[in-house]
Amino acid sequence: MASMTIFQYSIGKTMVHSLDTRFKLVLVALASITVLHASAWALLVMSGGVMGLGWYIRLPLFSAAKELRFFFMLLLMVFAARVLATPGEPLVQFGFLVLGKRGLMEGAIVCWRFLLVVCMGLVFISTTRVSEIKRSAAWFFKPVPGVPEKRIAIMLGLIVRFIPVIFEKAGEVTAAQHARCIGRRKNPFFRLKAFIIPLLRGIFNDAGKLAIAMEARCYSEQGIRRIAPAPKRDWIVLIAGGSLCVVAWVA
């Protein structure tokens, strides 16, 4: 039995699961833009909201934090770059390295914004089926002239389908390399090379197998069902969520 990652749909019957996917996409996009412009107080309120949603849909927060560990490393680098590159009143000085109060504040806020956007994406991914994302993408692109909406929708669906595969492969490669004492190698470039090559080979191999299996089952762009009209409840959620985003933006 394969292990599950949190970056995939998890079956549930909550209101977030059943909300129209088009509305979920609009709300996630709106909230992401709002997060980039919101003040620290508004960010605090939005973080509370996202954590509440995570608890409501029973997102395993500990596993989420564990699987986001590489993202945290990236955040750490962003934070360090921000702190070192922002001028301002110095708090601490180590030789030529100066840590300013403004840099620390700005670094923390930028990382907070990124983290919040990722968490919202996580809530979206774990409550939305790939097939629904496909259908919604096709619906959004349909009015755009010259855009092959069904093809784009399939591609989007496949990208989302591959997120858990990539995580699973990365886990396998890491485990296999630890079993052969990669930990004793101190050169980070060697370790990166040793990790990336088998990972990419595995992913491309799986992508090839999936493409052949899809072809064998008559894959075509016809396989996208139409979306049923959204119920009244979903409209209320969309309007309420949208209004909250506007308030958070201007606050």
Partner 1 sequence: MEKSIMGKDIIIDIQNLSHRFPNGAVGVDRVSHTILKGEFVIMAGPNGSGKTTLLRHLNGLLMPSDGDVRIKGVPIKGNLLHTRQVVGMVFQDADSQIIGETVREDVAFGPENLGWDPAAVDRQTDWALTKVGLSHKAGVSPHLLSGGEKRRLAIAGVLAMQPEIILFDEPFSNLDYPGICQVVDQMKALKREGHTLVVTSHDMDPVLGLADRLVILDRGRIVKDGDPARVAADAAAFGIRPPLGFLQMAPGQRPV
Binding site for partner 1 (CB under 8 A): 1-2, 4, 8-11, 129-131, 161, 164, 206, 209-210, 212-220, 222-225
Between CA 7 and CA 68 the distance in angstroms is 10
- Rg of the chain on CA atoms, in Å: 21
Q: Which of 99/210 has CB closer to partner 1?
A: 210
> At closest approach, how far in Å is the CB of 160 from partner 1?
9
Q: Which of 40/207 has CB closer to partner 1?
A: 207
Give, to the nearest 10 degrees, the angle between helix 130-141 and helix 149-179.
Answer: 140
Q: Which of 106/206 has CB closer to partner 1?
A: 206
Q: Which of 107/157 has CB closer to partner 1?
A: 157
CB 173 within 8 A of CB 202: yes
> At closest approach, how far in Å is the CB of 178 from partner 1?
23
> At closest approach, how far in Å is the CB of 208 from partner 1?
9
> At closest approach, how far in Å is the CB of 213 from partner 1?
3
Contacting residues for 10 by C-beta, under 8 A, at least 6 apart: 4, 57, 58, 59, 126, 127
